[in-house]
Structure 1
Amino acid sequence: MKQPKIKIPKTLLETIFDAIGITFYLLAIIYLAMVFGGLPDRVPGHFNGAGEVDRWGSKMELIILPLVGGGLWLLFTVLEKYPHVYNYINLREDNLEAQYRNGRLMLNVLKNEIVLFFSMITYSMIQIAQGEAEGLGRIFLPVFLGIILVSLFVFMFRMVRM
């Protein structure tokens, strides 16, 4: 079944989430730009599952996370405009708009969670490079994965219930 295209205006909640995500993203970039010249040549390049630095690299590598985070944010923003191409469970004519809104909100939430985490990691990498911290901490990875998985579960649950 070819899913119909319908125009659904962006909600206030999606706009608020975007504003929060972009604000933290821009703050991370501004902070990186402000301290970049004073950073040591070696900065954390990778972390193990316990949040400990397991590879050091050039400070130029600090630019990678904001680029990837910004790229993912843009990609998800484009995908939000096409909810009719997503895969749905239980899609019917009477719940079409609600399913599209739910799918689009799911992408919006995931996109902003990802950009927030990338911003946090960028900030943490700078702190570690400056000797202000030792690692991300043991709970960073479980919390990150937990938030993403709980978000997915909530939206999938909502989709099935519609």
Structure 2
Amino acid sequence: MFYQDRPKITLDKSTFDNFLDVFAFGLLIVTIIYTVLNYSALPDQIPMHFNYSGDITRFDDKDMIWLFPILGIATVSGIFYLNKFPHVFNYPQKITPENAKEFYSDATRMLRFINVSISLLFSIILFEIVQVSLNNAKIISQAANYIIMSIVILMTIGPLIYAFLNLKKKKT
């Protein structure tokens, strides 16, 4: 494998890194508690898909509400676990003992931000589904729709911008 010759080092997590990890999992825990507290009040059929305008395009059984917390936990836990092995990530430069700590730290920090974004995305979607299901809203709110789209866009291009700026900073 290409990464076998890379240094395997243990990174010290900063207070901010710990905060990001706790925040990502904390959002999911709050989401699960919110779901548990509202589950009995949900109708038998709940909206599970919305179009870009926020209109409901599909309904499912209310048990499907658990899909979002399960997917959120699986995704965030998977990325959290993967973060323990930064030597297997893909890097734009050769990793040496001299630059490993810097590259590994940047890569793991970027994944922590992605984890927070994923948690936030699942939390907002679930909150909106519950609110629409309980007739507190007829469609997904326009503000939530913009937030969701912004998070998706940031999750897509944010890491690329972050990596590009870090590389540019290192070359100067």
TM-score, scaled relative to structure 1: 0.91
Given that residues 62 and 122 in structure 1 are in contact (C-alpha distance below 8 angstroms), is that contact kept between their aligned partners in structure 2? Answer: yes
**Contact 2:28–2:119 under 8 Å retained in 1:** yes
User: Do the aligned partners of 2:86 and 2:107 also contact (CA within 8 Å) in 1?
Assistant: yes
Q: Report the Cα offset of residue 141 of structure 1.
A: 4.2
CA contact (8 A) 1:28 1:119 kept: yes
For residue 129 of structure 1, what is the aligned residue in structure 2? 133
1:153 offset after TM fit, Å? Answer: 2.2
Letter in 2 for 1:70: I
Secondary structure, in 3 states, of the residue corresponding to 2:49?
strand
> Aligned to 1:91, which of 90, 94, 98?
94
- Which position in structure 2 is the counterpart of 1:13? 16
Measured against aligned partners, the alpha-carbon deviations of 1:35-63 in whole angstroms (never above 9, x if no partner) come to: 10111111111122333221011111100
RMSD: 1.7
TM-score (norm 2): 0.86
CA distance in 1: counterparts of 2:15 and 2:165, whole angstroms: 19
Question: Any stretches of 5+ residues in structure 2 without a counterpart?
Answer: none
- Is the 1:103–1:155 Cα contact (8 Å) retained in structure 2? no
Deviations 1:6-40 (A, max 9, x none): 11122211111122222221111111101101111
- Alignment partners' CA distance in 1, 2:95 and 2:49: 45
Structure 1: which 4+ aligned runs deviate by more than 4 Å?
none
> Counterpart amino acid of 2:115?
K
SS in 2 for 1:38: coil
Matches within 5 A, 1:11-160: 11-93=14-96, 94-133=98-137, 134-137=139-142, 138-160=145-167
Question: Between Structure 1 and Structure 2, how many residues are aligned?
Answer: 162
